[in-house]
């Protein structure tokens, strides 16, 4: 009787161990328990990313940057999405609309996790998206008179105390030298005696009004003629007043010399590479002084690219060690003579630098 009792207890013990093991493995892996109930791991995760305006002509979207995401997964109650641009979103609806801002055509890897309690399953999808550049600042020069005082200030004088290059002009704010007329900014360089100088011109800038970090700049301009003329569109770092030049960095989007007709310069100045040692490239065009051309700059954290009429002619590698990773402001001017402008044509009387527009995009 005692032996039968022991066998019965042994059988009961083995059944208890079996049931415990069965319950443990049933709750591991694809399930957990929450409040005594089994939580099933999601499965069959499907992610679909659809840019707005996709068509045969626009396979990467219409340029708005807006993308509609849908997520489906069996047993999922919520989704977490890493959008590939540093942003992360969560949703319980299985859908999300998001707008990307980086201009150009970029490819993002989207990571999605479908959750049910602490259980989850993950997947990823690649998204190639076109985002049209968005204007963040512009001057179309549509109002006659002086340049818009909300956008521009003047540099006045010869600059011989710091920013001149032994040039011959005196910069003024007179309408004789700078005005907006018939939808065009006109900077006119004139041979005349003025405050001890033999020439006058103008130099305007956005310092204190507008500056930006990274983006695309476009200027549509017709350049002045005459030996010694030196028109430019360029930028300086906001910290020039504290860091000085060339530590602040300088980006010359366009420079032209009347003594080198139709040769366009794109140049960068920074410590150890400034003045005559700056990093510069040139391209030759036609009719620089008789027709309007578009001079542009594509400035990013890893590169700075110079274009004329959409044709790339200078690519510079930008790094975090250089001063080209801070806010810069814009400058438009026309100098004459000096270290770079060179010999002034003795027959020069006057010439006008005309700017149809300047636009800055993100």
Residues 6 or more apart whose Cβ sits within 8 Å of residue 255: 230, 231, 232, 234, 264, 265, 266, 267, 340
Angle at 136 between CA 183 and CA 128, to 5 degrees: 125
228 class by beta-carbon count within 10 Å (0-12 exposed, 13-18 middle, 19+ buried) = buried
Q: Which of 297, 336, 335 has the alpha carbon at shortest distance from 318?
A: 297
What's CA 4's distance to the chain center, in Å? 86
Q: What are the C-alpha distances in Å from 291 to residues 127, 287, 354?
A: 41, 6, 10
178 touches 292 (CB < 8 A): no
- Cβ of 58: how many Cβ atoms within 10 Å? 13
Strand partners of residue 70: 48, 95
Q: How far apart are CA 349 and CA 188, in angstroms?
A: 10
Q: Known catalytic residue: 250?
A: yes
Find the catalytic residue in 167, 255, 291, 354: 255
Q: How far apart are CA 321 and CA 247, in angstroms?
A: 11
Q: How far apart are CA 219 and CA 233, in angstroms?
A: 8
Find the catalytic residue in 192, 250, 291, 354: 250
Classify the C-alpha dihedral 58-63-65-67 as positive or negative.
negative
H helices of the chain, in order, are 2-26, 240-243, 338-341
305 touches 295 (CB < 8 A): no
Backbone angles phi, psi at 135, to 5 degrees: -70, 125
Q: Which residues are catalytic?
A: 250, 255
């Amino acid at each position: 009787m005692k032996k039968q009792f022991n066998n019965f207890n042994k059988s009961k013990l083995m059944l208890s161990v079996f049931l415990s093991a069965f319950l443990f493995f049933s709750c591991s892996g694809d399930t957990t328990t929450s409040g005594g109930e089994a939580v099933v791991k999601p499965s069959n995760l499907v992610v679909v990313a659809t840019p707005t305006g996709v068509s045969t002509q626009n396979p990467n979207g219409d340029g708005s940057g807006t993308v509609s995401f849908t997520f489906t997964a069996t047993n999922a109650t919520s989704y977490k999405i890493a959008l590939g641009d540093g942003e992360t979103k969560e949703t319980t609806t299985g859908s999300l609309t998001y707008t990307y801002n980086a201009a150009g055509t970029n490819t993002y890897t989207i990571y999605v996790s479908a959750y049910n309690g602490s259980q989850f399953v993950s997947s990823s999808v690649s998204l190639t998206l076109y985002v049209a550049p968005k204007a963040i600042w512009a001057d179309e020069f549509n109002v006659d008179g002086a340049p818009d005082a909300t956008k521009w200030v003047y540099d006045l004088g010869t600059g011989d105390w710091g920013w001149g290059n032994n040039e011959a002009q005196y910069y003024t704010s007179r309408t004789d030298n700078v005005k907006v007329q018939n939808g065009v900014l006109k900077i006119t360089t004139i041979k005349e005696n003025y405050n001890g100088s033999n020439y006058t011109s103008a130099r305007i800038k956005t310092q204190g009004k507008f500056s930006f970090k990274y983006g695309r700049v476009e200027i549509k301009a017709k350049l002045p003629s005459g030996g010694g003329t030196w028109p430019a569109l360029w930028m300086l770092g906001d910290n020039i007043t504290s860091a000085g030049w060339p530590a602040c960095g300088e980006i010359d989007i366009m420079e032209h010399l009347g003594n080198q007709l139709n040769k366009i310069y794109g140049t960068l100045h920074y410590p150890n590479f400034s003045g005559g040692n700056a990093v510069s490239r040139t391209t030759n065009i036609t009719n620089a002084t008789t027709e309007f051309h578009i001079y542009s700059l594509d400035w990013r954290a890893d590169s700075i690219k110079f274009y004329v009429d959409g044709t790339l002619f200078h690519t510079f590698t930008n790094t975090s060690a250089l001063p080209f990773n801070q806010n810069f402001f814009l400058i438009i001017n026309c100098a004459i003579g000096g270290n770079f402008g060179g010999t002034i044509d003795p027959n020069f009387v006057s010439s006008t630098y005309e700017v149809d527009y300047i636009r800055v995009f993100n």
